[in-house]
Amino acid sequence: MASSASRIAPNREALHPFDRRFGTDTGGYLPPEELVTGLAHDALNYGYSAIAPSVFREALRRWTETLLEVSGRIKAYSFVDVGAGKGRAILLAAEQPFRKVIGVELNPDLAGIARRNVGLSFERSKARIRVVEEDAANFRWPRGPLLVYLYNPFDCSLIQQIAEKVAAAGKSSRGPVDLLYVNPTCAHALTAKGFFRHLWTTKIVMDAADQKADPYGTDSDVVSAFRLR
């Protein structure tokens, strides 16, 4: 197990500058075998690693350029990270004035780490940040406007289930529903049934600090944006 993880993520033990700065624990890589909860969707998870801050911030900047005039203010949106892990993405999202920031995480150990990280980083503003320990397929989606975030967390069958539920929730609530998908291996699950339309896909190069600490030893991520039809 350890040797397999080392082959996939040879730099998994590197301390990320984000954690060094805030005293948090968001780095590393955990393979699916280390995240077993005994629940139905264990077999569909892709393991844990965290988004490079430089990639997240650039993806969010590009997304804001596509916002509709009526609801084109970040503070109108709730941000939901599906498969939030240790919570780095929700910490990064909390840098922006989202209405709510929610991390949905099935694994109780990761959810606990995420809650501690929120307490360490955002003691004054954590009232609008919430970590929900729950199967993403059962999550009750907040009303729109909504930005859903995926960092390649699950098998395509579960991504499709989530897409269907997000689409149903979006149709019955006010405001647009958008989705940011990092390393979108299951993008077809979003578009195949016509739920979402593709806005853009781009390769985002990490800054030097993120490249040095990336667990996989890579220098970029592909990010796609989608909007509920």
Give the separation between CA 22 and CA 3, rounded to whole angstroms: 30
* CA 101, chain centre distance (Å): 11
Task: Specify the residue for token string 């624990």.
Answer: 25
Which residues are bridge partners to 203 per DSSP? 222
Indicate the DSSP class of residue 51: -
**Residue 1 pLDDT:** 45
Q: What is the pLDDT of residue 127?
A: 54
Beta-carbon contacts of residue 127 (< 8 Å; ≥ 6 apart) = none
CA atoms within 13 A on the CB side of 212: 7
The Cα 164–Cα 189 span in angstroms is: 9
Task: Report the percent of the chain where pLDDT is more than 70.
Answer: 90
Q: Which amino acid is at 8?
A: I
DSSP 3-state helix, strand, coil percentages of the chain (rounded to 5)? 40, 20, 40
Q: Does the N-terminal peptide bond of residue 145 adopt cis geometry, omega within 30 degrees of 0?
A: yes
> What local confidence, expressed as pLDDT, does residue 144 receive?
85
Q: Report in angstroms the alpha-carbon separations of 97 from 36, 76, 92, 137, 202.
A: 34, 9, 11, 27, 24
Quote the pLDDT of residue 9: 86
Give counts: helices (H), strands (E), the chain.
8, 7
Count other Cβ atoms within 10 Å, centred on residue 66. 12
Q: Which residues neighbour 61 within 8 Å (Cβ) at sequence distance 6 or greater?
A: none
Q: Which residues of the chain have pLDDT under 70?
A: 1-4, 39-44, 69-72, 122-127
For residue 69, the model assigns a pLDDT of 60
pLDDT at 39: 62
Backbone angles phi, psi at 161, to 5 degrees: -60, -45
Cβ neighbours of residue 58 closer than 8 Å, sequence gap 6 or more: 204
Query: What pLDDT score was predicted for residue 31?
Result: 80
64 Cβ contact list (under 8 Å, min separation 6): 72, 74
Kindly report, residue by residue over 105-132, the tens digit of the pLDDT.
999 999 999 999 998 876 545 558 999 9
Q: What is the predicted pLDDT for the residue at 78?
A: 94
User: Residue 147: what residue type?
Assistant: L
What are 140-175's pLDDT values in tens digits? 999 889 999 999 988 898 999 999 999 988 887 778
Assign domain 2-19+28-39+54-228 one CATH number from 3.20.20.70, 3.40.50.150, 3.30.360.10, 3.40.50.2300. 3.40.50.150
* Coil vs helix vs strand at 171: helix
| Domain residue ranges in the chain | 2-19+28-39+54-228
